[in-house]
Amino acid sequence: MGDVTPFRAIQPGQPQQVGFERLELQRIMDLYGRMVAAGLWRDYAMQMDKELAAFAAFRRTAERPEFRIEKRPALRQKQGMWALVNEAGLTVKRGHELGPVLAPLERRLMKVVE
């Protein structure tokens, strides 16, 4: 017969994967939709691991992401769990709340009206 491989014991209280909550994802997708309508972004990707959840926005599909919005709950008590990372991998903004971290991207959508 075959060998039986036991599953790793799931520790209670420890998440197996970090993800976005519904309101967080709604806010991110709202921004993404406005950036697509402005012609700045064309594609996106999401990554969810044990340590982080990331939303990457692309100008073109074949390029590196222009920006990544990362959620790292392990940094909640330190620097803040939200980070905005640019194409070069440098952290543009970090914080405890999602709104202020998205502010530099939302400023790109503002236009001067005469």
Query: For the chain, which residues make up each domain, given as ranges?
Result: 22-107
- CB atoms under 10 Å from CB of 98, counted, come to 21
Task: Pick out the chain residues at pLDDT < 50.
Answer: none
Copy the structure tokens of residue 91.
């952290």
39 backbone dihedrals φ, ψ, rounded to 5°:
85, 15
State if pTM tops 0.85: no
The whole-angstrom separation of Cα 52 and Cα 4 is 32
Looking at residue 44, its pLDDT comes to: 92
Looking at residue 5, its pLDDT comes to: 75
Looking at residue 69, its pLDDT comes to: 92
Q: Shortest CA distance to 63 belongs to which of 46, 84, 87?
A: 87
Task: Please write the tens of the pLDDT for every residue from 13-30.
Answer: 666 788 888 999 999 999
The whole-angstrom separation of Cα 63 and Cα 34 is 20
Looking at residue 9, its pLDDT comes to: 59
Looking at residue 10, its pLDDT comes to: 62
Task: Please write the tens of the pLDDT for every residue from 27-43.
Answer: 999 999 998 998 888 99
Copy the structure tokens of residue 52.
């982080």
